[in-house]
Amino acid sequence: MRNVLKSTAVIATAGLALTLTACSSGSSSAGSSPDQPLTVIASPTPHAQILDYVKQNLADKAGLKLDVKVVTDYVTPNTAVQDGSADANFFQHVPYLEDFNKKHGTDIVSVEPVHLEPLGLYSKKAKSVADLSNGATVGLPNDATNEGRALKLLAAENVIKLKDGAGTSATPADIADNPKNLKWKELDAAQLPRSLGDLDAAVINGNYAIDSGLTPAKDAILLEKAEGNPYANILAVKKGHENDPRVVKLAQLLHSAEVKKYIDDTFKGSVVPAF
């Protein structure tokens, strides 16, 4: 499925030309007509893979034309939806979206949760948290919500203790107790898998872990629990577009039994349906 990226499309976002890799050929401009393709920007794995499954197996029968554009950063999908270059995106969870809207003045909303990618702690030098040496350097995603999420994972497993009241935007400054005297390296989430060899360990988002060849359910030395987890990844659109018939169709397909089976069979617990 990773070889389905076939062409490159250019979308103007906030006055800048941003190059996007397309999962399929088609118009790169978004439109609201029911007869036009629904342009969705997604992270490569597993989001674009899931959308490609929908496109190849379910969309035609449902009367939906789907145009999937792939990017690897966490900014372009929201700015493109905000300025109308794309109709929807599929890459983020609600805490990240709420933080992005607040910081950038955007008005993007969740349509439906689709799946959870458990966040994990990975290491090429340690087989368990106990094996991490005193003063080890641990990589963290540097965006507000995922850094807080990473620290909460470590706190839940008693690697560190956070100050009372530390929320989803917690940073290393909110650490109350650090028994192993761990040091922190804050990096863009997409850079963490490539930097893993230079670190003692790193907390990596599920999509980036999978895309780099890691299997979260097998390779992570710590892994988020799915039960009660608020970080399900969502289909999102600009406010007011939730009832676009094409968006409604896609949301229905993403919640279908076929997609649930595809996620379970393909990712084997490294990605978990959230419906």
| CA angle in degrees (0–180, nearest 5) for 105-11-187 | 60
Q: Which residues pair with 112 in a beta bridge?
A: 235
Spatial distance between the Cα atoms of 240 and 109, rounded to a whole number of angstroms: 9
Predicted local confidence at residue 31, as pLDDT: 59
User: Over 90: is that where the pLDDT of 107 sits?
Assistant: yes
- Tokens 């990226």 map to which residue? 5
Reading the block at residue 236, the tokens are 């999102």
Name which of 106, 100, 92 is nearest 40 in CA terms.
Answer: 92
- φ/ψ of 223, rounded to 5, equals -145, 135
- φ/ψ of 88, rounded to 5, equals -155, 165
User: Over 70: is that where the pLDDT of 220 sits?
Assistant: yes
Rama region for 55: left / alpha / beta (φ>0; ψ in -120 to 50; rest):
alpha
- Calculate the average pLDDT of the chain: 88
Average pLDDT, stretch 216-226? 91
Tens digits of residue pLDDT in 126-154? 999 999 999 999 999 998 889 999 999 99
Tens digits of residue pLDDT in 69-102? 999 999 999 999 999 999 999 999 999 999 999 9
Name the residue ranges covered by the structural domains of the chain: 2-117+230-273, 120-223
Q: Where are the alpha helices (DSSP H) in the chain?
A: 49-54, 60-62, 76-83, 94-104, 144-156, 192-195, 206-211, 216-219, 245-254, 257-267
Predicted local confidence at residue 62, as pLDDT: 97
Fold adopted by 2-117+230-273: D-Maltodextrin-Binding Protein; domain 2 (3.40.190)
Contact at 8 Å (CB) between 151 and 160? yes
Q: pTM here?
A: 0.75
Tens digits of residue pLDDT in 251-273? 999 999 999 999 999 998 889 99
Spatial distance between the Cα atoms of 83 and 190, rounded to a whole number of angstroms: 24
| CA angle in degrees (0–180, nearest 5) for 246-250-256 | 145
Reading the block at residue 104, the tokens are 């950038």
Spatial distance between the Cα atoms of 199 and 136, rounded to a whole number of angstroms: 8
Cα dist. 22→12, 83, 162 in Å? 15, 19, 41
Reading the block at residue 36, the tokens are 């036009």
Predicted local confidence at residue 8, as pLDDT: 29
Task: Give yes or no for a cis peptide into 216 (omega within 30° of 0).
Answer: no
Q: Which CATH number describes the domain made up of 120-223?
A: 3.40.190.10
User: Over 70: is that where the pLDDT of 171 sits?
Assistant: yes
Contact at 8 Å (CB) between 117 and 50? no
Name which of 70, 24, 58, 91 is nearest 255 in CA terms.
Answer: 58
Element holding 9 (H helix, E strand): strand 7-13
